[in-house]
Amino acid sequence: MILIEVLDQPATQKAFGDVVGISQPAASDLIKRGVLRPGGTFGEWIRAYCAHQREIAAGRVAVGDINLVTERARLASEQADRVAMLNAERRRELVPLGWVAAVIARHCRQIAGIFDGIVPSLRRIDINLTAADLEHLEREITKARNLAGEFDLTTADLDEPDRDPYSIEGGLPDTEEVEPQEAQPVG
């Protein structure tokens, strides 16, 4: 009977802390956070404190800087993204960057090989090009061939924050900004 009478008495922070094993400042913090109602009885505070502890244990209430609900939601979201990406790869909607880089590099090497044959082919068909014309053409083709032959797609190329991926240096040019060039007569 005495316990029931005590539960109906107004609680003090110090006495409540002694009963549940927390300090008076911790009890004060529970009041500030709205867990305990100011002026409540021991019974009300014990029930509120136990309910709060159950919520913490279930991960539905933040403890300090760690909010388990948010962390669980973030983890679930990351796991869902991972599964979605794997499924997209299996459906061939996405391909790994390394595979794309290898395919593009192989094609660039093939293009470089084609460039190597242009000037000798022009010399064979003798279309009245001067030696200076052929040298100039060979220099320009060499630049393009070397650029194609040295292709190496790395993640560093994609992660440069100030680089426009559609600029002339970084990728495909914007078709609205590129001026078509007139063909110049050779020779």
Can you say whether the dihedral through the CA atoms of 105, 111, 114, 115 is positive or negative? negative
Highest mean pLDDT of the ranges 81-85, 90-94, 129-133: 81-85
The per-residue pLDDT of the chain, averaged, comes to: 77
Average pLDDT over residues 173-179: 40
Q: Which pLDDT band holds residue 5 (cuts at 50, 70, 90)?
A: confident
CB-CB contact of 148 with 114 (8 Å): no
Average pLDDT over residues 42-49: 92
Q: Which pLDDT band holds residue 25 (cuts at 50, 70, 90)?
A: very high
Q: To which residue do tokens 């505070």 refer?
A: 45
Strand partners, 63: 66
What burial letters (b/e) apply to 48-86, b meaning 16+ CB within 10 Å? Answer: bbeebeeeeeeeebeeeeeeeeeeeeeeeeeeeeeeeee
Highest mean pLDDT of the ranges 57-71, 77-91, 110-124, 169-183: 77-91
Question: What is the distance between the alpha carbons of residues 90 and 71, in angstroms, rounded to a whole number?
Answer: 29
CB-CB contact of 36 with 49 (8 Å): yes
Question: What is the distance between the alpha carbons of residues 183 and 186, in angstroms, rounded to a whole number?
Answer: 9
What local confidence, expressed as pLDDT, does residue 89 receive? Answer: 86
Q: Which pLDDT band holds residue 14 (cuts at 50, 70, 90)?
A: very high
What local confidence, expressed as pLDDT, does residue 134 receive? Answer: 84
DSSP 15-26: HHHHHHT--HHH
What local confidence, expressed as pLDDT, does residue 141 receive? Answer: 86
Highest mean pLDDT of the ranges 25-39, 55-69, 86-100: 25-39
Give the pair of three-digit tokens for residue 28.
Answer: 């004060």
Average pLDDT over residues 5-19: 87
Higher pLDDT, 90 or 72: 90
> Residue 87: enclosing H or E segment and its boundaries?
helix 68-90
Give the pair of three-digit tokens for residue 62.
Answer: 């933040």
